[in-house]
Amino acid sequence: MTFLRCIAAFSFSALVVTSAYANPDLANGKTIDKQKCYACHAKKSGFGNGDMIYTRTDGKVKSMADLKKMVSLCNTELRLDLFPEDEADVIAFLNQQFYKFKP
């Protein structure tokens, strides 16, 4: 009985993880951007606005692959310690809000 319950719990959590990737949480992505990314981008870009780094015309990001690369670069390089699902949420939020690449 305990064994069955264990299997049930395991497959449930696997389901949650899978759906986090399939259905990114845009609100969570937005929160993370505001909490961890915005201030530094505002300062480093010299625009005083943390959104503008994503919309600058000479931006580095030209595709979904670039976007993923940049987000994980900022994440690992700066040791922001985002979980993979949080990273996926930020990517989804940035894409929906600014970049609008076809997935």
Both tokens assigned to 13: 């959590």
Residues 72-91 within binding reach of ligand HEC (CB under 6 A): 74-75, 78, 80, 82, 90
Of 24, 61, 89, 92, the one binding ligand HEC (CB under 6 A) is 61
Number of residues that bind ligand HEC (CB under 6 A): 22
Name the minimum Å distance from CB 59 to ligand HEC: 3
Of 31, 47, 51, 59, the one binding ligand HEC (CB under 6 A) is 59
Distance CA 97, CA 103 (A): 14
Distance of CA 33 to the CA centre of its chain: 8
| Cα–Cα nearest to 101, from 63, 58, 47 | 63
Name the minimum Å distance from CB 16 to ligand HEC: 22
Asked whether 33 and 41 are in contact (CB, 8 A), the reply is no
Name the minimum Å distance from CB 96 to ligand HEC: 13
Q: CA triplet 74, 95, 76: central angle to 5 degrees?
A: 15
Residues 17-56 within binding reach of ligand HEC (CB under 6 A): 32-33, 36-37, 40-41, 44, 53-54
